[in-house]
């Protein structure tokens, strides 16, 4: 059994609640709501405890899971195609950012990856709340650059973090 399988089998809901208790999830929700007042995009945060055995057996990656979550959470379904998902696979401490087509040609994969790397470093130090909020702020800055605030903007997606 390789390390990946072991990490996914041993990361439980208890681990998720330890790193992301209700107070932390509430602070992330508040950070997302505050960020969305500074731009006209939509931002979601999703955390998945671990992959199930079937996904592991098929060799699914965190990126593939993030794309599935992007679809399932309807982050793609915004008027201006400006939704962004920050996805965390807790068992692997792997962050993925999936952005809608409104960002195509505007934001490089290196820019998104730099945010992921910063979050992963914070998580390695056990700073889950700070790392997530810093990631939200960094994504907010990118969204604001390309989708500034708009008086007619409406909140199209929930701000509440999703536990998958």
- Residue (of 25, 22, 77) closest to 46 by Cα position: 25
**Domain enclosing residue 56, as ranges:** 3-163
The CATH number covering residue 86 comes to: 3.10.310.50
Q: Is the dihedral of CA 75, 38, 148, 89 positive or negative?
A: negative
User: What is the tens place of the pLDDT at every residue in 68-111?
Assistant: 999 999 999 898 899 999 999 999 999 999 999 999 999 999 99
Judge contact between 73 and 67, C-beta under 8 A.
Answer: no
Report the alpha-carbon distance of residue 148 to residue 142 in Å, rounded.
10
State the pTM of this model.
0.92
Tokens for 16, please give them: 């998720």
Q: What pLDDT is recorded for position 1?
A: 56
Please report how many Cα atoms fall inside a 13 Å half-sphere around the Cα of residue 163, on the Cβ side.
15
Q: What pLDDT is recorded for position 79?
A: 87
User: What is the tens place of the pLDDT at every residue in 23-66?
Assistant: 999 999 999 999 999 999 999 999 999 998 888 889 899 999 99
Q: What pLDDT is recorded for position 156?
A: 87
Total domains in the fold of the chain:
1
């Amino acid at each position: 059994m390789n390390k990946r399988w072991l990490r996914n089998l041993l990361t439980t809901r208890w681990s998720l609640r330890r790193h992301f208790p209700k107070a932390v999830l509430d602070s992330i929700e508040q950070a997302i709501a505050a960020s969305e007042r500074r731009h006209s995009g939509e931002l979601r945060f999703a955390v998945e405890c671990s992959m199930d055995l079937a996904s592991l057996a098929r060799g699914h990656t965190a990126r593939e899971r993030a794309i599935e979550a992007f679809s399932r959470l309807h982050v793609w379904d915004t008027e201006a195609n400006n939704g962004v998902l920050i996805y965390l696979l807790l068992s692997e401490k792997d962050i993925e950012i999936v952005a809608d087509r409104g960002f195509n040609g505007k934001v490089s994969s290196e820019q998104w990856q730099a945010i992921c790397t910063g979050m992963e470093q914070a998580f390695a130090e056990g700073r889950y709340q700070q790392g997530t909020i810093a990631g939200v702020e960094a994504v907010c800055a990118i969204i604001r650059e390309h989708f500034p605030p708009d008086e007619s903007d409406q909140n199209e997606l929930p701000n509440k973090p999703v536990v998958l």
